[in-house]
Structure 1
């Protein structure tokens, strides 16, 4: 089995860097704090996206939105019919 030399060098450098990074307690703490900050940002972003104001309750007077939804619905029906018939 032939191994790509670039891939092998990249994996070696990555493993070496990770080993060096985790060798110090200070570096491990820094990495842990970065991970926690990243996870906090993700959770905050998710909570900002919810609740969806119009989810499941389209306004009957919003013609553009309703036509977009009906076109999307017809696209999926058309795709299903083509797969079943073709």
Structure 2
């Protein structure tokens, strides 16, 4: 009996959430709550480690070519596109 309650609970919760979000004003309330909660979490984390937030703000939109982690990530992303193109050309 307890195994049947758990899936039914989640289905009921999903239906209740969908019906609540069907109104535009409720969606706006949820988005506003989400934005304020996200900002509070970011502010809290920045209070705990201010240097990390400063590093992220300085780094945003201005990548450093000597940052090995970023360079590796960009390189892998670029190689994915090249590999995909090569596979498509070889199949023709």
1:30-45 mapped onto 2 (5 Å cutoff): 30-45=29-44
Structure 1 residue ranges without an equivalent (≥5)? 53-86
Q: Which runs of 4+ in 1 moved over 4 A?
A: none
Higher helix content, 1 or 2? 2
Q: Which protein shows a greater Rg?
A: 1
Structure 2 residue ranges without an equivalent (≥5)? 52-92
Question: What's the TM-score once normalised by structure 2's chain length?
Answer: 0.49
Task: Name which structure has the greater RCO, CA cutoff 8 Å, separation 6+.
Answer: 1
Q: CA RMSD in A?
A: 1.9
How many aligned residue pairs are there? 50
Cα distance, 1:6–1:48 mapped onto 2, change above 3 Å: same
Question: What's the TM-score once normalised by structure 1's chain length?
Answer: 0.52
